[in-house]
Structure formats: C-alpha cells, structure tokens
Amino acid sequence: MSEVWQFEMKRNDVNFYFRGDIHLGSKQSAVEAWRMSNEIVGNDPLAFDFGMGDFVDSIIAKDKRYDPFNRDQNFESIDDAFSFFEDNYTPLKNKSGGLLVGNHEWTLIQNTEMNEIRKICKRFCIPYLSFSALIRFKFPNGKILTGFVAHGAGGGRKIGSKANRLDEVKGKFPDVDFAVYAHTHELFTRAVPVLMLKDDKLVARTIHMASSGSFLRNYVPDTLGYGERALYDPLPIGFVYLQVRDGVIDEGFRYRVMY
C-alpha cells in the first residue's frame, strides 16, 4: 500500500470519478468511449478523478495471454500505448487524485523493472497510489471523508464472488466511508452496513462500495482476446462516480454506462 494520502479540498462539493481497466493496445479496448469519459470529467467543474489501473494492456510475448493478432494497429508498441494514455490524460492532471497500478502494469514491471505509471505521476505531480491506497479528504466546512481504493485481485467468474471480495473491505477498514475496486471489469455499486458500539448504543453506519467497470470489450469481431478465450461474460463499458455535497456523500455511488 502507498502512504495515506491527505487532500485539502477547495470546496465542499465534489464529484469523485473512478475509471480504469482501459487496456490500451488491445483491439478490444473501447478507446473512443474512454476519450468520451475524459471529456465528461474535463467538462465537470466539480470533477476529481482517480485512475484505477490497467490503463495499458501491457501483455508481452512471453505472457500466456499474448496474442500477436490482438494488437491495436494504432500502437506499434506498449510504449506507444503509454504515450497515448499520457497525452490524453494530460488535460485532466489538475483534476486528478492520482493513479493506481494494475496487475497488467505490474506484470510489465516484473519483466522490465520499469514503472511507467509512477513516471507519469511524477511528471504530472500527482499521487502515485501504487496498488492500493487510503485516501482522506478534508473539506472547508470541517467535514472529513475517508476512502480505500485498490486495483483489486481475484474475484472469480461470477458476480457473487466479486462482490464478496469487495465486501472484505469492511473487515480490513471498517471506518472508511467508501471503497472502490477495479480489476474484475464489473460495474456495480453496493451499500454495506457496518454495526458498531457508540456511547453504549448499537448503531449502523454505511460503507459505500463500488466496482469501477472497464473500457475493455470481451467480444469483438475479427479478433480473439483472452476474455473470449476464457468465455467470460460480456460486460458493460463504463465507470462509477460519487457525488459529495457539503462534505457529505449524496445518495451513494452511481454508474455511467457508455455502451
């Protein structure tokens, strides 16, 4: 885990966006949908964006998932895909709370001993969130929100196991206000009550949880990716966001389906 990141917010209202699993470099990446989501964030004056990892597919030849016919011809190399990501994220760097590294980037790190996401964060002067991070927001009105974000791991093939993995947060960090995982490409939100004693009374508080979706299509004509080879379910393309008003979570997570 990276350090606990502290954010002094300039206003009491904010829209947190959580977007990741773009997998640039794969023919199955919904590149234009991701660029449209960049415009949504860019045009939102209250936007504060978190990158959830797996921005680039990053699959090299010796990886068992490698498919030479799945390479997006707009990118000659993995390096091109990272440059494309950086160029397109540059307009959002002043609205960014940082970038996580995903399992695809982590495999590349293991094979090359180079961390492109950390380099991009350094150039943008934004937090490098590593694989997971605790984040804390202090608002001008004195309200405080805490969250836990992670690229995530495992999850299984069915929605129940993926929700169960996310639910584990309440045992690890029962005091956070919200938690977001990526990795599974599922797009869902969940409100999880946690019981606790306060002043000798049993009370319940809610942890707002979400799975942040993806921009990777499992089934695309004229190509065959690892998702189709594993017969994964088709999934929506999109992301989740969380509205905060007067320093308080407003209604909980919502999701945006691009298509």
Per-residue pLDDT of the chain (259 residues; tens, 9 = 90+): 657 999 999 999 999 999 999 999 999 999 999 999 999 999 999 999 999 999 999 988 888 888 888 999 999 999 999 999 999 999 999 999 999 999 999 999 999 999 999 999 999 999 999 999 999 999 999 999 999 999 998 777 888 888 888 999 999 999 999 999 999 999 999 999 999 888 899 999 999 999 999 999 999 998 988 888 889 999 999 999 999 999 999 999 999 999 8
Tell me, what's the pLDDT at 216?
A: 97
Tell me, what's the pLDDT at 16?
A: 98
Contact (Cβ atoms closer than 8 angstroms) between residue 71 and residue 25? yes
The domains located in the chain, with CATH, are 5-257 (3.60.21.10)
For residues 256 and 238, give the distance between their C-alpha atoms in angstroms, rounded to a whole number: 5
Tell me, what's the pLDDT at 227?
A: 86
DSSP code for 3: P
Tell me, what's the pLDDT at 226?
A: 82
Tell me, what's the pLDDT at 2?
A: 58
pTM of the full predicted structure?
0.95
Q: Is 7 in a helix, a strand, or coil? A: strand
The full DSSP string for 91-159 is: GGGGGEEEE---HHHHHHHHHHS--HHHHHHHHHT--B--SEEEEEEE-TTS-EEEEEEE------SSH
| CA-based nearest residue to 88, from 133, 26, 16, 22 | 22
